[in-house]
Structure 1
């Protein structure tokens, strides 16, 4: 049984990930950790009844930070509250403090599991954690699936088809530096080239989704999509399936990027990232990746400079 500890398990994304794991392939010991113990108890009371609908002997319980020490997967969804903003980057300093506190118990413990980063801005936080030198890149995975899902949905609207029939990938930065791979779109398994009007419609949907959602000032983030996507990613790790998914990974020369974490296609298994899958990209797509790396590294450098000056 795989032990999955969700830090931030009282929040919408953390609790959604736990709930979706109850129906995923594999069996899990799901441990919810948060600074709001009553909310954790509420989720556990609810989800343990849902176990009666499942076919696998999953367990779900509340826990403490010490539960991370022997976890197979530690999910980091803890973050400062969402507020009106123009970019996920505004959360970098505050969320880096939270991530650092959450990972501190693991640093000198001989931790051998996988850290799955959901906290934003995910690429900068991944780069920042990896620079600390104690967690190998293959055991550090950032969640970026939503970017590709939004691109697929935008393309589906533009073409008048169901999103499930669209295969399209968004790589690069989770944010302003995202790189849509228009050269690899298929619908129903067949390659498709979008017209300029169709591409504009798809871009309008994918590029502006975050701004439209934040402008609602609902106080919630992409709870259901991220929860389900996280469960699917953990499922791929648990079943050692070698499934290829988009995720943020610190790159070591792949796509011409060194040292920055960006969204790329990766093959995952029980020990985390088996390999980064390198596709042939157009010159424009490669340029977009390099520009995204510059943005991410600059953000982390600025944060390091501020910390050093204190």
Structure 2
């Protein structure tokens, strides 16, 4: 697989690049950056790392990938199987506190020009699966898709960190390992996240939660990324869960058969009664991008919260589409 990472020298971008090289040294990675010195440093270091990961010495018939770098506006010169966009305008210290007044609007206003420039660069390519990490993810996914005019199946936003955080929160309450928990997470990548507790299982058995437990879990998963940023530094971000989740998505969009459902942010065209916005909903992935968007039956509280998430995203879309 040949993956292009826009923002390849960023914290998440470089961690994803390392994850790809570790996953399979045959992967080739292009780091697209404006900060070319940093991109060179990562590409060179990753090339050295691949020596150990490939278990040398190799024969001349063994396949091995490359890690290279280039300016973002040259992306049209490369034949890529998938693209991941991690580039962003760095947040201010004030915007890293949960509930900071106006933080989402400032983040959106800061990253819209950046994503528009990226859309212009991508216009030189044929549509390929493109995964957005840039926040606020749902708004940026819709903007990018709208600007590109690519099929809906090719533009999606990463929001699997919440699924992992919900599993961890449930696992600690049920005294099991998080991998034995399933609780898909829909809605907004942000305050209006929607854990689908009505579909949650522990060890394959349906699990029930009181209203208080649901509130506690939602509050906890919204708080933990800010705690990580506070303790580790805002420049570090949640790099590990993001890179691992992105690797899972990239495996899916290169798979020959559809994956199990994953909740990712996608442009909506009538699903759940919503249009002209993007939200995290269950999809299956296969070679080329989204294979199918799934409409689950939700309980009343989940449906109401999903509507709140849509209304919030749609309000911002109206604002920047004017």
* TM > 0.5 fold call: yes
Superposition pairs of residues 156-171 of structure 1, within 5 angstroms: 156-171=171-186
Of residues 263, 266, 271, the one that matches 1:249 is 266
Of residues 67, 81, 87, the one that matches 1:60 is 67
Per-residue Cα deviation, 1:16-41 (whole angstroms, up to 9, x for no partner): 11111123369422100111112112
Deviation at 1:114, TM superposition (A): 1.7
| Partner SS for 1:51 | helix
Per-residue Cα deviation, 1:250-285 (whole angstroms, up to 9, x for no partner): 111111211210001111112111111221111221
Aligned partners of 1:195, 1:272: CA distance in 2, in Å?
37
Deviation at 1:142, TM superposition (A): 0.5
Equivalent residue number for residue 29 of structure 1 = 28
Superposition pairs of residues 45-124 of structure 1, within 5 angstroms: 45-54=44-53, 57-65=64-72, 66-68=74-76, 70-84=79-93, 85=95, 86=100, 87-107=103-123, 109-124=124-139
Moved more, 206-215 or 227-236: 206-215
Between the two proteins, the alignment pairs up a number of residues equal to 303
Per-residue Cα deviation, 1:99-156 (whole angstroms, up to 9, x for no partner): 111220222x352212211100010111122333612211101000011111111111
Aligned partners of 1:289, 1:199: CA distance in 2, in Å?
15
Aligned partners of 2:22, 2:149: CA distance in 1, in Å?
33
The gaps in structure 1 that reach 5 residues or longer are 306-310
**Pairwise CA RMSD of aligned residues?**
2.0
* Contact in 2 for aligned 1:155/1:201 (Cα 8 Å): no
Of residues 155, 158, 183, the one that matches 2:198 is 183
Q: 1:241 to 1:222 in 2, by over 3 A?
A: farther
Deviation at 1:197, TM superposition (A): 4.9
Aligned partners of 1:259, 1:215: CA distance in 2, in Å?
35
Q: How does the TM-score come out when normalised to structure 1? A: 0.90
Moved more, 137-146 or 34-43: 34-43
| Partner SS for 1:206 | helix
Superposition pairs of residues 175-214 of structure 1, within 5 angstroms: 175-214=190-229
Moved more, 279-288 or 184-193: 279-288
Q: Does 1:301 align with 2:313?
A: no
The gaps in structure 2 that reach 5 residues or longer are 55-62
Equivalent residue number for residue 220 of structure 1 = 236
Deviation at 1:51, TM superposition (A): 1.6
Deviation at 1:14, TM superposition (A): 0.2
Moved more, 188-197 or 11-20: 188-197
Structure showing greater relative contact order (alpha-carbon pairs closer than 8 Å, 6 or more residues apart): 1
Q: How does the TM-score come out when normalised to structure 2? A: 0.87
Deviation at 1:90, TM superposition (A): 2.9
Aligned partners of 2:211, 2:48: CA distance in 1, in Å?
51
